[in-house]
Amino acid sequence: MGATGTNAVALEAVGRTYGERDALLGVTLTLPPGGSLAVLGANGAGKTTLLRLLAGLLRPTSGTATVLGSSLPKESWAIRGRIGLLAHDPMLYRALTVRENLAHQARLLSAPTERVDELIDAVGLSNRADEPLRTLSRGLIQRAAAARALLATPELMLLDEPYANLDPGGQSLLQPLLENNRSVVITGHDPEALLRGTDFAVGLKAGRVAFHAPSNQVSSADWKALYEG
Same domain, 68 and 99: no
Same domain, 134 and 161: no
Same domain, 113 and 197: no
Would residue 126 count as lying in a domain?
Answer: yes
Residue 171, domain CATH: 3.40.50.300
Helix axes 98-109, 138-150, angle to 10 degrees: 20
Would residue 87 count as lying in a domain?
Answer: no
List, for residues 37-74, the tens digit of each pLDDT value: 999 999 999 999 999 999 999 999 999 999 999 999 99
**E strand map for 41-162:** 62-67, 70-72, 83-86, 156-160
Same domain, 1 and 77: yes
List, for residues 85-109, the tens digit of each pLDDT value: 999 999 999 999 999 999 999 999 9
Domain that holds residue 103: 92-153
pTM: 0.94
- pLDDT of 76 above 50: yes
Same domain, 77 and 164: yes
